[in-house]
């Protein structure tokens, strides 16, 4: 991937090895037909930045850069400099001082633009988002690589390989399972997504709880048992799990009992976002016959 800088824009050109993902590109284009702002969320290293760079004429802005943050503090001159119908990518937009204001101005005053904003957590996950942009944006969640993309886009035809390595592009494309990738991802997830966005300071307790949930993926959610095993209070466990859900690290499956209040009296199942992390925490280096059902679920 090469990025060429000019005064008015960053022009992104394809690398020869970039895996073009037409399904998601089309989803984003269809969302722009309905709203000027598209929010692309997903976990760290799931491929949001790479996908955002698949719009070759886009004005790509990396909001991790202090110079970009300073420029966007007063966004009107920037928006005024753009061509009509320009595509603008704000990568890691939660790094700017007031991301909701930046997007609201674009949607209200520069609705002719097409805006793609990326971030690890859902919109309004942090106090920085003072406006949920109701009616101005479409939300797209980018999950780990779907099985039908494995063969068509990534050239992966071994289902067990997908289950074992998971669906984040880097381990998916690796011939071996690199444990260091997963441990480093967990450290980065806590530091960049949890500590910064949710102000959770107990690193040891949070990561211990995350490991427990990954190990118990597919089981009924038991806050009391998790509190006991993690040495955290029950309210703290609930708050940490809520942060994990917002950051897309886990999901609930609510039991269905035909409607009514009975549904909320039964415990949901909780699932990790990716099979690769489940097999990493369990220490598996291969998939047994009995493992497939749990991981497929």
Identify the CATH number of the domain in which residue 134 sits: 3.40.50.300
Residues 129 and 175 in one domain: no
CA pair distance 263, 277, nearest whole angstrom: 29
pLDDT digits (tens, 9 = 90+) for 139-182: 999 999 999 999 999 999 999 999 999 999 999 999 999 999 99
Report the DSSP beta bridge partners of residue 251. Answer: 271
Mean pLDDT of 216-224: 93
Per-residue pLDDT, averaged over 24-32, amounts to 97
46 and 161, same domain (yes or no): no
User: Do residues 135 and 156 share a domain?
Assistant: no
Give yes or no for residue 77 having a pLDDT over 80.
Answer: yes
pLDDT at 252: 87
Boundary-marking domain end, from 109, 141, 173: 141
Do 82 and 215 fall within a single domain?
no
Nearest to 234 by CA among 254, 255, 205, 261: 205
CA 269 vs CA 31, 154, 217, 265: distances in Å: 31, 31, 8, 13
Q: How far is CA 165 from the centre of its chain?
A: 18
The SS3 of residue 86 is coil
CB 118 within 8 A of CB 49: yes
The pLDDT confidence band at residue 94, using thresholds 50, 70 and 90, is confident
Are 177 and 264 in the same domain? yes
| 179 and 209 assigned to the same domain | yes
**pLDDT above 70: residue 66:** yes
| Final residue in a domain of this structure, among 119, 141, 163 | 141
Q: Which domain holds residue 281?
A: 147-296
Minimum mean pLDDT range among 25-34, 59-68, 219-228, 263-272:
263-272
17-47: b or e for each residue (b if 16 or more CB lie within 10 Å)?
A: eebebeebeebbeebbeebbbbbbbbbbbbb
In a shared domain, residues 123 and 181: no
What confidence tier does 278 reach under pLDDT thresholds 50, 70, 90? very high
Q: Is residue 117 classed as helix, strand or coil in its secondary structure? A: strand
CA end-to-end distance (rounded Å), the chain:
35
**138 Rama sector, left if φ>0, alpha if ψ -120 to 50, beta otherwise:** beta
Reference 146, options 24, 230, 258; nearest CA is 24
199 pLDDT tier (thresholds 50, 70, 90): confident
The conformational region for residue 153 under phi > 0 = left, psi -120 to 50 = alpha, else beta, is alpha
Distance CA 143, CA 227 (A): 28
| Residue 261 sits in the same domain as residue 177 | yes
Query: Is the model's pLDDT at 2 over the cut of 50?
Result: no
Percent over 90 (pLDDT), the chain? 70
Residues 107 and 79 both lie in one domain:
yes
Do residues 99 and 187 both lie within one domain? Answer: no
CATH of the domain at 275: 1.10.10
Q: Give me the percent of the chain exceeding a pLDDT of 70.
A: 87
**Residue 218 has which token pair?**
């597919």
96-113 confidence digits (pLDDT tens): 988 989 999 999 999 999
Which runs of E-coded beta strand occur in the chain?
Answer: 2-5, 10-13, 37-41, 59-62, 87-91, 114-119, 137-141, 250-253, 269-272
- For residue 134, pLDDT over 60 is answered with yes
Mean confidence (pLDDT) of the chain: 87
Do 113 and 158 fall into the same domain?
no
Confidence of residue 116 (pLDDT cuts 50, 70, 90): very high
């Amino acid at each position: 991937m090469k990025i060429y800088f000019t005064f008015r824009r960053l022009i992104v050109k394809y690398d020869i090895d970039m895996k073009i993902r037409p399904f998601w590109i089309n989803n984003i284009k269809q969302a722009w037909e309905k709203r000027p702002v598209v929010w692309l969320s997903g976990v760290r290293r799931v491929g949001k930045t790479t996908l955002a760079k698949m719009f070759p004429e886009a004005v790509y802005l990396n909001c991790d850069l202090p110079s970009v943050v300073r420029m966007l503090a007063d966004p009107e001159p920037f928006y005024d400099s753009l061509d009509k119908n320009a595509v603008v990518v704000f990568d890691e937009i939660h790094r700017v001082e007031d991301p909701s204001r930046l997007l609201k101005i674009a949607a209200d005053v520069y609705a002719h633009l097409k805006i793609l904003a990326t971030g690890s957590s859902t919109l309004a996950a942090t106090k920085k988002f003072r406006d949920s942009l109701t009616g101005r944006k479409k939300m797209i969640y980018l999950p780990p690589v779907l099985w039908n993309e494995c063969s068509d886009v990534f050239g992966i035809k071994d289902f067990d390989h997908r289950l074992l390595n998971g669906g984040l592009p880097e381990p998916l494309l690796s011939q071996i399972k690199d444990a260091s990738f997963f441990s480093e991802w967990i450290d980065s997830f806590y530091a960049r997504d949890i500590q910064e966005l949710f102000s959770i300071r107990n690193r040891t307790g949070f990561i211990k709880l995350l490991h427990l949930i990954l190990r118990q993926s597919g089981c009924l959610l038991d806050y009391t048992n998790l509190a006991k095993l993690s040495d955290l209070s029950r309210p703290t466990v609930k708050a940490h799990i809520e942060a994990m859900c917002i950051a897309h690290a886990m999901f609930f499956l609510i039991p269905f009992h035909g409607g009514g209040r009975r549904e909320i009296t039964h415990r949901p199942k909780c699932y990790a976002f990716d099979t690769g992390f489940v097999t990493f925490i369990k220490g598996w280096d291969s998939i047994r016959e009995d493992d497939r059902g749990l991981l497929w679920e």
